């Protein structure tokens, strides 16, 4: 599948239902409900409340690819440009794309 990354596709407001966030899919140990992590080790996805509801997710749990510094696969990830191929192949991205649909998914945060 080829996606033109210059296009911003908006997500329609919808109920979260049984849609899962990245921490639930990857079972990384991070979640907004807390865990045993130092302040320096908090994944930015779980505290990104400004994007709560995007792609029907909690905080940035369903737009994690657009967040720099995520804690995926046991490593600190960089910006989307630096983690693009990891994200495009990630089961979280693929699941959100499938559930939201190409016409409704929000791929990037507006700057």
How confident is the model over 26-60, as pLDDT tens digits? 998 888 887 656 667 789 999 999 999 999 999 99
Question: In terms of residue numbers, what domain contains 30?
Answer: 22-100
Alpha helix stretches (DSSP H) within the chain: 22-26, 44-47, 80-88, 91-100
The answer as to whether 62 is a domain residue is yes
pTM: 0.76
In sign, the C-alpha dihedral spanning 102, 108, 96, 88 is positive
CA distance to 34, 41, 96, per residue, from 58 (Å)? 14, 19, 13
Give the C-alpha separation, 94 to 20, whole Å. 12
The number of folded domains in the chain is 1
| Position 14 in a domain | no
DSSP letter at 21 equals P
User: Is 37 part of any domain?
Assistant: yes
* Residue 89 or residue 1, greater confidence: 89
**Residue 108 is assigned to a structural domain of this protein:** no
Q: According to the model, what pLDDT value does residue 8 have? A: 32
């Amino acid at each position: 599948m080829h996606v033109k990354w210059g296009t911003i596709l908006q997500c329609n407001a919808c109920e979260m239902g049984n849609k899962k966030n990245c921490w639930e899919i990857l079972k990384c140990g991070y979640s907004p409900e807390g865990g045993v992590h130092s302040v320096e080790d908090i994944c930015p996805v779980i505290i990104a409340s400004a994007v709560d509801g995007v792609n029907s997710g909690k905080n940035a749990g369903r737009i994690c690819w657009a967040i720099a510094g995520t804690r995926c696969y046991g490593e600190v990830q960089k910006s989307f440009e630096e983690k693009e191929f990891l994200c495009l192949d990630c089961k979280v991205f693929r699941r959100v794309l499938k559930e939201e649909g190409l016409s409704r998914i929000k791929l990037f945060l507006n700057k």
